[in-house]
Amino acid sequence: MSIYRLKCIGLGAALCLALAACSVPHVMGFGSYYQVTDPYSGKVYFTRQIDREGRGVVEFLDDSSETWVSLPEGQVTTITEAEYQAGLKR
């Protein structure tokens, strides 16, 4: 390989790493607020941490009760911080 080609590969790898580092907080759910609704009971939960398991299962820490919840078909909606704060006060 030529030096020019190695430099291009290095630049491409650095760019990919930078983009991945920027997207990790969003993929992991950091910095976002969520409203999770149980479609069977209608109960609404508020969280900042979502974990999507296989077969549609949603697991999260309910910030109102500070307990872990696992829903087979939870409906997840991204909300604003103001909506999140208002939901916690209910």
pLDDT in tens, 57-75: 999 999 999 999 999 989 9
Confidence check: pLDDT of 90 > 50:
yes
Tens of pLDDT, residues 11-50: 555 444 444 444 444 444 457 999 999 999 999 999 999 9
Give which of 63, 68, 65, 67 is closest to 83, Cα–Cα.
63
At 44, phi and psi to the nearest 5? -110, 135
Ordered domains of the chain (ranges, CATH): 25-88 (2.30.30)
The predicted pLDDT at position 4 comes to 63
Give pTM, 2 decimals: 0.64
The predicted pLDDT at position 55 comes to 82
The predicted pLDDT at position 56 comes to 83
